[in-house]
Structure 1
Amino acid sequence: MLQLFAPAKINLGLQIIGKRNDGYHNIHSLFFPIKSIADILTIELAQSVTLICSQELDIPNENNIVWKAANLLKQRYNIDMGAKISLQKNIPHGAGLGGGSSDAATILKGLQLLWNIDISPKELSETASELGSDVPFFLQDHPALIQGRGEIVHPFMFSCEWTILIVFPALHSNTSRAYAGLYTSNFPKIEVNFIDALQQSKDDCSKMKDLLFNDFEYSIFTQFPELAEIKSQLYTQGAFFASMSGSGSTMFGLFLDTTTAHKAKSAFLAQQCIVAPFT
């Protein structure tokens, strides 16, 4: 039996460049894995693929991305074995943290080991991209510059002593509605150099709020003004940067030290919160 951890991610900057001919959008973003928030998957050999989830997701198993990933791999490589998969959900659903995509990537890596499949990293990434735009990111463990529809992953090394406070509002943000609320008159956009912005912010963190942004915030904050209020409160509580992750609804603030982050957490007693090292 294998036990696997599927981490969450946050977006540090998210720019929607333009709409593609295939209906997807090209994006430009920095993804950071948050390993202190993770779903847990256990897998063991079985005659067929089965999935047991720790919470009711209101979707049949055959529509669950974990089940789809397992069966895609099984069919593509003519595997005559199955797997009993247990999924413990800790990452909130529909929160902009990539929980489903992380689960899919993690099960691909786990079943590659369990079924002893010889797959190149390129093949595995191509398989992952069929399941979802940002699934390939979760095949590796580092922060990455994300481009294309999410399948182009450029990992990079980054270390800091920042602390992140993550706030989980009791809201579900719909990604399709987030895209529908974008202004499209200025597509395609010129990419902002987020890597350079990150480096400048590491040297002087006060610059970050002027250099990094999330294009979804305007449309999502219009739907859910309380998210804008959380962002404002994060700054009031001492964050040097605050933002929404992905298309929401998760909000986060970055702090220079853990003590200030824990004090800030007390301002959000109505929401579930986590304080963790950023990297």
Structure 2
Amino acid sequence: MLLKAHAKINLSLDIIGKRKDGYHLLEMVMQTLELHDEIEISETEKGILVTCDKDYVPVDERNIAYKAAKLLMELKDIRKGVRIDIRKKIPVAAGLAGGSADAAAVLEGMNEIFNLKMTEKELMDAGLKLGADVPFCIRGGTCLCEGVGEVVTSLKPFKDHIVLLVKPSFGVSTKDAYGGFELDKINRHVDTDKLIKAMGENDLKGMSYFSRNLLENVVLRRYPVLKSIKLSMQKSGSVITLMSGSGPTIYGIFTDEQHAENAARALHKNGNEVILTRTI
């Protein structure tokens, strides 16, 4: 079985509190992209075998796709084995949910292959045990995600918009990004309701005012090069320019394909990974 594991961007990321167990309470508008990894899943006699076409991606218990398979085998007492072949196109440690998307695809694929008859809600509940972005990756599209990522509400689709992704040569640890965040120093939170209203009206200028990612306070301060990427993208004509997730990928939403292609050429330097894609 061949599945597409789609990347995502954050149209907003607000941190509104912190639980006693240390997890941050979030309010995020998330959007699926056409950019995807390819996941091929097949039944085997026993065990879990993961392969990947990128040698820097671990294929043992550290891989979240492996963890997803193991979780479902234990949860549903699956006696057979599974082989998972990953063809990576989503940059790693980029804030684009590449790992979470792979895990979501494994859960959905195994649900079909082993005829588990799990509902979307059951798959999302299982996915939350693997990572906060996995429930959204199972639902996909345009969603408001709340809590620690477990409350996912579908919104009016924000599809077919041109998106330029620029991932610099370094990655950012999600743990480090959240670890450096100081909630008590935030003066302005995201007005999520107004962002969703602007999205519903396809008002990109309105969206650009309300699209904010509070983790930029931490990550852009540590990596000033990200500020220059944002500035370059804005000068090239992006209507909305933001860091996705915990970074370091900066994305721009363009209304003109030529402007997006010009920006891609200008930013394809210093080891930057540059990808043109669309919202779906």
- Under a length normalisation based on structure 1, what TM-score does the superposition of the two structures give? 0.92
Deviation of 1:60 after TM superposition, in Å, equals: 5.6
2:42 aligns with one of 16, 27, 44:
44
Q: Structure 1 unaligned runs (5+)?
A: none
1:11 aligned partner: 10
1:245 aligned partner: 244
Tell whether the 8 Å contact from 1:39 to 1:91 is kept in structure 2 after alignment. Answer: yes
Cα deviation digits, residues 114-151 of structure 1 (max 9, x gap) = 11112122222211111111111111231110100111
Counterpart-to-counterpart distance in 2, 1:183 and 1:209: 24
1:199 aligned partner: 197
- Corresponding letter in the other structure for 1:28: E
- Corresponding letter in the other structure for 2:87: Q
List aligned pairs for 1:132-211, cutoff 5 A.
132-159=131-158, 162-185=161-184, 192-200=190-198, 202-211=201-210
2:275 aligned partner: 274
Tell whether the 8 Å contact from 1:4 to 1:42 is kept in structure 2 after alignment. Answer: yes
Counterpart-to-counterpart distance in 2, 1:124 and 1:162: 29
- Corresponding letter in the other structure for 1:93: V
- Under a length normalisation based on structure 2, what TM-score does the superposition of the two structures give? 0.92
> Aligned pair in 2 of structure 1 residues 5, 177: CA closer, same or farther (>3 Å)?
same
Counterpart-to-counterpart distance in 2, 1:261 and 1:128: 34
Counterpart-to-counterpart distance in 2, 1:175 and 1:160: 27
List aligned pairs for 1:45-84, cutoff 5 A.
45-48=43-46, 49-57=48-56, 59=58, 61-84=60-83
Q: State how many pairs are aligned.
A: 276
CA RMSD of aligned residues (A): 1.9
Cα deviation digits, residues 90-114 of structure 1 (max 9, x gap) = 1111000001111111100000111
Counterpart-to-counterpart distance in 2, 1:258 and 1:106: 30
Cα deviation digits, residues 221-243 of structure 1 (max 9, x gap) = 11110001100111111111101
Matched-pair identity in %: 33
> Aligned pair in 2 of structure 1 residues 114, 204: CA closer, same or farther (>3 Å)?
closer
Cα deviation digits, residues 193-240 of structure 1 (max 9, x gap) = 424324325454223332121101121111110001100111111111
Tell whether the 8 Å contact from 2:95 to 2:244 is kept in structure 1 after alignment. Answer: yes
Tell whether the 8 Å contact from 2:94 to 2:172 is kept in structure 1 after alignment. Answer: yes
